[in-house]
A and B are shown apart, each in its own frame.
Chain A
Amino acid sequence: MTIVLNQPFVPNAMSPTRRRVFVGQTEKVASPPVRTSSHDAVDALLVACADGDPASFAPVYDALGPVAYGASLGILRDPDHAAEVTQEVMVEVWQTASRFDAARGSARTWVATLARRRAVDRVRSEQAHRDRDQRDTDLRTNESARDVVVEDVERRLEGSAVRRCIEGLTPTQREAVVVAYYGGLTYREVAEQLDKALPTVKSRIRDGLNRLRDCLGVRHG
């Protein structure tokens, strides 16, 4: 993996005073984000479908499918793989709806968490395949498939709520956070990729996420 992440992100025009996770959309967003006003309603839909009526899941899919697909696509980039992961995630959402706890976070965050985990699992199993294949083949064009480059990251961040907060990180924090998020890497792998000590990487990611948290106004309890 090559990391090219040394230019600052261009601040976008979103109002810095908006605090909600679901900030405005851009033309790049394929579907409107779940709006703040419907946030509680989506939570309630999810809670309701835990009663076991499959028909009650259709509105849940409509509201949260785009979250699962967007999360998967952001990490996997391949639409077919993202669709497969989305299917797995949404079935899991149905199966485990009773575990959703609105006191701990929104339905959107819950689904994004599940989707991220499955997408990362897939990145890692693909990487394992690739590593095996690589031993038998010469250099191939897709060798750089997992490269995280700044233009690409900018494109993927477009329309996301963190977009306006990312530039508030130091370059080294940004690098570590972005590589860990989009690369689906472990701390150890991030440290290897960036050729930095493990504790350094841990503290950069921690400090980076703490800054993002404060910038986004995320606060529980």
Chain B
Amino acid sequence: MADQTTATGPGGVPDDVWDLLPGYAMDALDHVERQAVERLLASDADARRALDEYRDVLAAFVVEAEPPAALRSSVLAQVQGTPQVHDRTAGTPVPESAPGGGSPSAGGSTAATSGPASSVAAPGRASGADVVDLDARRRRRRRWGTAVAAVAAVAAIAVPSTIAVQVTAERDRLQEQAQVVSEMLADPDSAVLRASVEGGGEASVLVSGDDMFFHAEGLPELDPDKAYQLWVVEGDGSVSSAGLLALRGDQATALVQGEHGVGMAVSVEPESGSEEPTTAPIVVLGA
């Protein structure tokens, strides 16, 4: 619940950012305020829940009205020629048909509704990167233990300076990716986190607001019945699937949008993927 007296978060989120949540839901904030709210949302499941509630309140202002009849065929015709922005990964868990069973801490599709820039998904925007169908996944989750506890402690994404000085080359390489990644890089608050992968390879993630661009290379080939599965680590230490990684050679990329994660992790799972991790992570990015 949106209790304005909530103590400051681990990232030092001041109370008055909570006061901005209604304005965020109403699109009534300026750019700086919006970024402050997005940082809060990234680290605080209660804030996300409060936002969802405000959105329900605002939706209650809406009086449904029949659009002009001609609009129907016009929209349906345009839809015919418009690709969807996701690339559904085989084995990605499907959502529960009945809503309401989600965990209270479920993070989710806020990118789709978190800001004007991220909501406008132009056709082809995702070209060059796999957009993981995060939000359709089942939202069952569990705590993963100490491996992610350190990540969770970094409530607001921060780059340790020793890593930050090494990331220039990584940033340059990522710049060649899709437009969305360029936009993420243009964000002065973006950060690149990287780490070695247990068993071989390097992984990195570019974080900008609610968007995360994951890249790994040098990954060893797995047995045919195994797959690399990507996970989003949230501020409370819970993890949720971001789908299976499709290897191209020894590389894999994934663009994950709208997740209020504080980091990412990869584990080796059965080839069809798991609803929750069944093995220890081979890499954790975020701390």
Q: Which residues of A contact B (CB under 8 A)?
A: 21, 28-34, 40, 43-44, 47, 50-52, 54, 57-58, 61-62, 65-71, 73-74, 79, 82-83, 86-87, 90-92, 94-106, 108-110, 112-117, 120-121, 156-162, 165, 180-181, 184-188, 190, 202-203, 205-206, 209-210, 212-213, 216, 218-221
Contacts and interface: CB of A to CB of B under 8 A. Distances in A.
B61 A157 contact: yes
Contact of A187 (B28, B88, B99): B28
Nearest to A204: B22
B61 A185 contact: no
Contacts of A68: 67
Nearest to B83: A95
Contacts of A62: 72
Contacts of B76: 54, 57-58, 61
A83 B58 contact: no
For the complex of A and B, list the 9 residue pairs with the smallest distance between their C-beta atoms, beginning with the closest.
A103-B102, A221-B104, A102-B99, A101-B108, A99-B112, A112-B59, A161-B60, A69-B67, A98-B86
B220 to A, nearest CB: 30
Contacts of B64: 29-34, 66-67, 69-70
A31 B106 CA distance: 33
Nearest to B108: A101
B53 interface: yes
B30 A186 contact: yes
Pick from A47, A82, A98 the residue with the most CB of B within 10 Å.
A98
A58 B77 CA distance: 10
Given A94-B84, A96-B85, A103-B106, A70 B63 contact: yes
Contacts of A185: 28
B161 to A, nearest CB: 34
B116 A50 contact: no
24 contacts: A30-B65, A30-B66, A47-B97, A50-B86, A52-B88, A62-B72, A67-B59, A67-B64, A87-B78, A91-B75, A92-B119, A97-B84, A98-B134, A99-B134, A100-B112, A101-B95, A102-B95, A104-B106, A116-B27, A117-B113, A121-B27, A184-B27, A209-B22, A210-B2
Nearest to B23: A187
Given A50-B86, A99-B135, A187-B33, 5 more contacts: A71-B61, A91-B82, A101-B102, A104-B52, A114-B119
Contact of A54 (B4, B79, B111): B79
A199 B110 CA distance: 26
Contact of B61 (A43, A104, A160, A202): A160
Nearest to A203: B19
A28 B85 CA distance: 37
Contact of B63 (A29, A181, A221): A29
A180 B60 contact: no
Contacts of A92: 119-121
Contacts, number: 272
Contact of B58 (A51, A96, A181, A187): A181
Interface string B113-137: 1001001110100000000011110
A162 B53 contact: no
A212 B55 CA distance: 11
B29 interface: yes
A188 B95 CA distance: 40
B1 to A, nearest CB: 8
Nearest to A50: B136
Contacts of B79: 54, 57, 90-91, 94
A203 B210 CA distance: 26
Given A66-B64, A106-B99, A113 B28 contact: no
Interface in B3-28: 4, 16, 19-23, 25-28
A30 B53 CA distance: 26
A116 B63 contact: no
B48 interface: yes
Interface in B145-172: none
A40 B98 contact: yes
Contact of B88 (A95, A98, A100, A213): A98
A82 B71 CA distance: 11
A220 B49 contact: yes
Nearest to B137: A101
B188 interface: no
